[in-house]
Amino acid sequence: MINNTLYFSVVLPAYNTPPDILRRAIDSVLNQIYPYFELIIVDDGSEPSLEPIVREYTDERIIFIQHPENRGAGAAHNTGIKAAKYDWIAFICHDDEWLPNKLEVCTPYIEQNYPEYKFFFHFPIVIGDLKEIEKSPFYNPKPNTGNYYTNFLIDRDKIIQTSCIIVNKECFKNYGYYDETGVLIDWDIYLRFSKYIDFYCINEFLSKYYLSSLGITQGEYLILNDKAGNDLLKLFLKWQKEIKKSKGARKSWSIRFNAMAKWYSDKNNKKKAKQLYWLAIKLSPFWRGNYIDFVKYMFKK
């Protein structure tokens, strides 16, 4: 806060982003009604560099940082956080878009109404194939404020999407930065933070989340793109002690691994499919769906 004005550091990690998509994200930040922010763009080793696109802008609020090589989504987020000048950090994914009133709407919640909270989020309008899916409950958690830890052990509580969160910098200092080893980075950090603090839900739709092949947390990337920070198995192994303490979490993760096993089976990766089926059975040995699918897999094999 400077001269009683709340300032934000906006972190935009980007990697091999098409120029028009990157401009859309940048423009949506620069066009905010609320003007008090810096925009930190981290190019995570793109080839070619994204610098020529960023240099098209003369806005002094833009800071450009480039990794000499691709280090992954976790590292790109952390570089932006550590470079931030201000206490409150907001994020925008390279293929997303903020509505012009996002910061204007969020500021009173943070500054005046609920100063005891350190983590805020709102909802995204979901765009699929350039059509609004919008307020689908599949893509958005129920409006809720408080402790999310138990929910996060089971699920990401639908989706708290990265472009929707605003976090006080002290959370990263106190509870750790983004994991850089390839786990599902957003889910991991929500679990970690929610062990210690409550989250405040701003019940507004203030950004656009585009479902496309560019989204590194969608489709095949969710399983295959280690460097993007989306490895579910690594996340499970990191949190398995806590997950196994909860009956609901065990069942949820069993179903999740069952689905992943089917995916690997369809891709003819028998070794990985078998590993995931056995893991699913161990987590929920009394759910017969695992056995039915495993028998089908064995006959198919």
Same domain, 27 and 155: yes
* Number of domains composing the chain: 2
Reply yes or no on whether the pLDDT at 229 is more than 70. Answer: no
Is residue 75 domain-resident?
A: yes
Same domain, 81 and 210: yes
Same domain, 45 and 180: yes
CB within 8 A of 202, min separation 6: which ones?
Answer: 105, 106, 109, 120, 121, 122
User: In this structure, what CATH number is given to the domain that contains residue 58?
Assistant: 3.90.550.10
CA distances from 166 to 80, 93, 282 (A): 14, 13, 37
Reply yes or no on whether the pLDDT at 129 is more than 70. Answer: no
Same domain, 262 and 168: no
What average pLDDT score do residues 283-292 get? Answer: 87
Same domain, 95 and 157: yes
Same domain, 153 and 274: no
Same domain, 206 and 250: no
pLDDT for the residue 280: 95
CA distances from 119 to 193, 196, 241 (A): 9, 11, 25
pLDDT for the residue 219: 41
248-275 tens-digit pLDDT: 999 999 999 999 998 888 888 888 889 9
40-84 tens-digit pLDDT: 999 999 999 999 999 999 999 999 999 999 999 999 999 999 999
In the chain, pLDDT over 90 holds for what percent of residues? 70
Same domain, 254 and 200: no
Same domain, 159 and 272: no
Least confident of 116-130, 157-171, 283-297: 283-297
| Residue 105 burial by Cβ neighbours in a 10 Å radius (0-12, 13-18, 19+) | middle
- Residue ranges making up the domain that contains 262: 246-300
Top pLDDT among 110 and 229 is at 110
pLDDT for the residue 138: 52
pLDDT for the residue 134: 58
